[in-house]
């Protein structure tokens, strides 16, 4: 339900408690008349599964419903798990049933963004441990993409928030490393990694579409609501024409 500030939409954003990137990233992308409201759930023990994730999300879902949002955004990337698309679909279906809201997941949004930009052969940057790369590779192959290069940024630093502490310069280096000649799209997954603020400069430097997961997620949510309008300075994805009519504020 819209309100005096969210005259076009009130979005609930569900993220792990350790995530410090989704909230500022989405704030940097929000158009006039749209407000974002972040709710947090405990970071799952690894390896996680959908049932455990949903159990951890339950208190956050209850609090989220109190602000009567129009749409739910799940800012969490399960690409490090086997069968990530199925995990995301299960989470989405359960969240929709529990909230009565449509749900945008980071996983589905990334695939939609890649197709919208006609990217087929990918260079991927991720913050996951190297042992998760097989799951990441399998996921994108199952989605119909080829993976030409992948850079894993898992830190030796212990703790659950290490990915948020990886510097912007290290991310730039990683994108340069996966920018092989046969790659037609450069992708970052893992929602707690700095990238949204780097998209425009990286596209200008590397000459290819750059898709940051948090940008893709918000773009998809706005499109679902018919609220996306092309905007410059935020990368090629956000410059795309809207897929639906733009409501009047």
In a domain, 137, yes or no: yes
Percent of residues, the chain, with pLDDT higher than 90: 82
- Residue 44: the pLDDT is 78
The yes-or-no verdict on residue 38 having pLDDT over 90 is yes
- The reply to whether 198 and 233 lie within a common domain is no
What mean pLDDT is reported for the chain?
92
In a domain, 183, yes or no: yes
- Residue 136: the pLDDT is 95
- Residue 160: the pLDDT is 65
What pLDDT band is residue 26 in, cutting at 50, 70 and 90?
very high
Residue 190, Cβ density class (10 Å: 0-12 exposed, 13-18 middle, ≥19 buried): buried
- The reply to whether 104 and 19 lie within a common domain is yes
The yes-or-no verdict on residue 171 having pLDDT over 60 is yes
In a domain, 177, yes or no: yes
**pTM (two decimals):** 0.94
- The reply to whether 98 and 149 lie within a common domain is no
Domain total for the chain? 2
Alpha helices in the chain (DSSP H): 22-29, 50-65, 84-99, 106-116, 133-142, 168-178, 199-206, 213-224, 236-239
- The reply to whether 221 and 206 lie within a common domain is no
Query: CA distances (Å), 121 to each of 77, 110, 118, 149, 167, in order?
Result: 20, 14, 10, 9, 26
In a domain, 163, yes or no: yes
Do residues 41 and 63 touch, judged by C-beta distance below 8 A?
Answer: no
- The reply to whether 207 and 219 lie within a common domain is no
What pLDDT band is residue 167 in, cutting at 50, 70 and 90?
very high
- Residue 128: the pLDDT is 87
For position 78, which CATH number holds?
3.40.50.12500
- The reply to whether 153 and 181 lie within a common domain is yes
- The reply to whether 15 and 99 lie within a common domain is yes
In a domain, 246, yes or no: no
Could you report the per-residue pLDDT of 41-89, keeping only the tens digit for each? 998 776 678 898 899 999 999 999 999 999 999 999 999 899 999 999 9
- The reply to whether 101 and 134 lie within a common domain is no
CA angle 97, 100, 106 (to 5 degrees): 75
- The reply to whether 63 and 149 lie within a common domain is no
- Residue 149: the pLDDT is 96
The yes-or-no verdict on residue 159 having pLDDT over 80 is no
- The reply to whether 99 and 85 lie within a common domain is yes
In a domain, 245, yes or no: no
- Residue 249: the pLDDT is 31
- The reply to whether 150 and 96 lie within a common domain is no
The yes-or-no verdict on residue 248 having pLDDT over 90 is no
Q: What whole-number distance in Å separates Cα of residue 76 and Cα of residue 24? A: 15
Q: What whole-number distance in Å separates Cα of residue 54 and Cα of residue 146? A: 31
Could you report the per-residue pLDDT of 182-238, keeping only the tens digit for each? 999 999 999 999 999 999 999 999 999 999 999 999 999 999 999 999 999 999 999
Do residues 71 and 91 touch, judged by C-beta distance below 8 A?
Answer: no
Q: Which domain holds residue 161?
A: 119-211
In a domain, 244, yes or no: no
In a domain, 199, yes or no: yes
The yes-or-no verdict on residue 138 having pLDDT over 90 is yes
- The reply to whether 75 and 154 lie within a common domain is no
Helix (H, G, I), strand (E, B) or coil at 121: strand
């Amino acid at each position: 339900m819209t309100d005096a500030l969210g005259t076009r939409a009130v979005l609930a954003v569900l993220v792990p408690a350790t995530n410090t990137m989704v909230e500022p990233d989405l704030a940097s992308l929000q158009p006039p008349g749209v407000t974002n409201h972040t709710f947090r759930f405990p970071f799952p023990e690894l390896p996680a599964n959908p049932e455990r994730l949903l159990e951890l999300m339950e208190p956050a879902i209850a609090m989220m419903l109190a602000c009567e949002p129009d749409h739910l955004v799940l800012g969490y990337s399960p690409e490090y798990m086997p069968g990530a698309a199925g995990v995301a679909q299960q989470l989405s279906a359960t969240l929709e049933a529990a909230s009565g809201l449509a749900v945008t997941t980071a996983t589905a949004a990334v695939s939609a963004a890649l197709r919208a930009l006609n990217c087929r052969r990918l260079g991927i940057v991720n913050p996951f441990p190297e042992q998760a790369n097989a799951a990441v590779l399998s996921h994108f192959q199952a989605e119909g993409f080829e993976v030409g290069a992948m850079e894993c940024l898992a830190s030796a630093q212990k703790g659950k928030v290490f990915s948020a502490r990886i510097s912007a310069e290290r991310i730039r280096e990683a994108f340069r490393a996966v920018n092989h000649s046969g790659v037609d799209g450069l992708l970052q997954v893992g929602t707690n990694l700095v990238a949204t603020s780097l998209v425009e400069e990286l596209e200008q430097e590397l000459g290819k579409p750059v898709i940051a997961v948090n940008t893709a997620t918000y773009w998809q949510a706005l499109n679902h609501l018919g609220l996306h309008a092309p905007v410059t300075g935020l990368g090629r994805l956000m410059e795309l024409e809207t897929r639906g009519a733009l409501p009047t504020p």
